[in-house]
Structure 1
Amino acid sequence: MNKKIVENEKLYLRNFTSEDFEDLSLILQDEETMYAYEAAFTEEKVNDWLRWNIKSYQENGFGLWAIIDQKSKVFVGQCGIVYSKVEDESLLEIGFLVNKHYWNQGYATSASQLCIAYAKNGLKAKKICSIIRDTNLSSRKVAEKNGMTIVKQFDKNYSGLPVRHFVYSLDLTNEYEQRK
């Protein structure tokens, strides 16, 4: 069994393995789930995504992790910490995607709170952010529940089109309290 990185009563996060390809494909190849990316992933892109995360574990000690339900042991999505470039700045970001069958059940909020605590206590990070498409209201709500506020707006290029994104940020140098 894969080692738990962090956990709470609801879920735990663990490293991806090649065995997660099918579960990850259910998320990354779903048009509805991937609307914020403008397109679902091909099989090749899902494989690239897995390799990119495994490489991040080796190089950074973290990456996106599998979200596993504590009771059922079901793979419900991904959440973790990555480096993201916004204009000329490299930011420590919490990213998450949940299988649409588990939307609105608190998985993204709970998993991202675990990542905030990990960034603060394990990585000794001073701040953490989430980069969210302006129209992605559900993800914006998760960031706001976690105490993040918008600090920047920018356009990402998707197939030649500018798509507005918000950078939500949380200062980890102040006492952070998990929000329910």
Structure 2
Amino acid sequence: MQWILESERLGFRNISKDDFNSLCLILQDAEVMYAWEHAFSDDEVHDWINKNLTRYSNEGFSYFAVIEKSTDKFIGVVGPLKANIDGTAYIEIAYIFNKAFWGKGYAYEGAKACVNYSFDKLKADKVIAQIRPDNLPSRKVAEKLGMKMEGEYLKHYNGKDIPHLIYCRTKRI
């Protein structure tokens, strides 16, 4: 397979409509999706896929499908995303993994690859991660990436204001 990006154990490619079933296993799991406040419906998964396809066309990047190279399994999504916080534009690193693959270091490995991609290919000056304060595993990933907590804000999502911490890094790993 031709990867857009590759790490030791993972291959990264654009998401496609053919990934619907694999994405449902992730996006429809309430435990995985707690940061979004709800598991997605089938329609929301279709909308999420279409939103990413639009980002590829309009912005040139979005979430990548993460494939475990040793098994060829779709295990999650990770990517650089455009983010806007209080009028300031950033490149954000975000990820969502099938919980069957939690605890294997894949979030760190995928996020590290995307941090370097953001600096090398997207010419980012700064890369951020937006993390809910109670999401300790993601905070640990950000810290392992060498990101420092820079601030916090209330992110408006689905009619709610949800506290988020902002972690940042200003150079490749």
Under a length normalisation based on structure 2, what TM-score does the superposition of the two structures give? 0.95
Unmatched runs of 5 consecutive residues or more in structure 2: none
Output the CA distance in 1 between the equivalents of 2:38 and 2:3.
31
In 1: Cα distance, 2:60 partner to 2:164 partner? 27
Residue of structure 1 in register with 2:147 after alignment: 148
Query: Which residue number in structure 2 is paired with residue 138 of structure 1?
Result: 137
Matched, 1:77 2:76: yes
Tell me which amino acid in the other structure corresponds to 1:38: E
SS at match of 1:151: strand
Unaligned runs of 5+ in 1: none
Tell me which stretches of 4 or more aligned residues in structure 1 moved more than 3 Å: 158-161
**155-164 or 78-87, which deviates more:** 155-164
Q: Distance in 1 between matches of 2:63 and 2:7?
A: 17
Q: SS at the partner of 2:104?
A: coil
Aligned to 1:57: 56
User: 2-side partners of 1:89 and 1:159: how far apart?
Assistant: 21
Give deviations 1:96-121, integer Å, cap 9, x for gaps: 00000000101110001110111111
- CA distance in 1 between partners of 2:95 and 2:158 (Å): 22
Name the structure 2 match of 1:34.
33
Alignment correspondent of 2:23: 24
Q: Distance in 2 between matches of 1:170 and 1:29?
A: 31
Corresponding residue number in structure 1 for 2:125: 126
State the SS of the aligned residue for 2:4.
Answer: strand
Residue of structure 1 equivalent to 2:94: 95
- For the residues of structure 2 that align with 1:157 and 1:121, how far apart are their CA atoms? 31
Q: CA deviation at 1:159?
A: 4.2
Does the residue aligned with 1:4 lie in a helix, a strand or coil?
Answer: coil
TM-score, normalised relative to structure 1: 0.92
Give the Cα separation in 2 of the matches to 1:125 and 1:48. Answer: 28
RMSD of Structure 2 on Structure 1 (CA): 1.2
Q: Equivalents in 1 of 2:158, 2:15: separation in Å?
A: 28
TM-aligned CA deviation for residue 90 of structure 1? 2.1
CA deviation map 1:45-86 (0-9, x unaligned): 111111111111111211001010011010010000111122
What is aligned with 2:112?
113
CA distance in 2, matches of 1:50, 1:160: 22
Q: CA separation in 1, counterparts of 2:90 and 2:124?
A: 11
